[in-house]
Structure 1
Amino acid sequence: MNWLIDNLWALWLVTLLVFAVIELLSLDFIFLMLSGASLIALLVALTGAPFWLQVVVFCVAALLMILFVRPLALRHLRKGPPDSLSNVDRLIGASVVVLEEVTARGGLVKIGGDVWSARTDGAPLSPGQSAQVQKIDGAHAVVGLSAPGTTSPDAAS
């Protein structure tokens, strides 16, 4: 116990690591700010400040970081138009080229240069035929016939 009292920096280091792990699980920047406040308190502890001052510094730093740094970080993270699609959502409606016959059981298509496993809920599609992504179901693209005249230059790349 005497060792812990003499080495309070170790307590702040453990606190920092615990908050960092929780942040990795939650991804909401609250625990990242608490982790940063723990780092500041750790630095204060290394200067030999009393424990009560370390706690006050931690609290003030955490409050300031949550009120001022977190909103800036969130704003930076959410750059771009709010209605922009990401990940697989942006593939819905994309034109594809059938590489291997696509049936209800499976097949292969090329979406923007990437080869995807695909299936269709309608008629089978032949190799070389153009189609359109209707939805993404796990690791499969569910495709159907394109509307006439719809082609995408990136589907064939």
Structure 2
Amino acid sequence: MEAWVIWLLAAALLGIAELLTLTLALGLLAVAALVAGLTGALGLPVGAQVAVFAVASVAGLAVVRPVARRHVRQPPPLRSGTAALVGREAYTLTEVSRTGGRVRIGGEEWSARPYDPAAVIPADTTADVLAIEGATALLYPTTTGGPGGRDTAGEAAADRGTGKETS
């Protein structure tokens, strides 16, 4: 078997080992073996192939791996502005329907409408902010109610039938 085929087999085995370990080191060695195999396919002697493998390995492990590790360890970008509001909880100040409404998100008052145009979110309940369009928050109602944790949407519907005043 020719030397370049052995290099390609070594590259394949190192690539598979990299997929199983996710260390990046074996992947860089696989690339170095691939380069050495290409060198062998060009007809260079085995000594030159080993030298190319050594240089490519050292270059990958000494240059590429530290840069890649530094990049992976960076903290996620901070969300700011309206992007930071997506996923937060909103407290409805007025009924929120497709025509609009008002909510409090993180101490600020926002205009709002439900994400589902057919939905109506009663006042004094909580909802999740799914998106921000301009200065309007798009909401999805949660199953728990207002700030006390009670289901005010269900109680308000039940109280309408009895004539009892809701708080």
Q: Scaled by the length of structure 2, what TM-score is found?
A: 0.46
For the pair shown, the structure with the greater C-alpha radius of gyration is: 2
Q: Which has the higher contact order (CA 8 A, sep 6+)?
A: 1
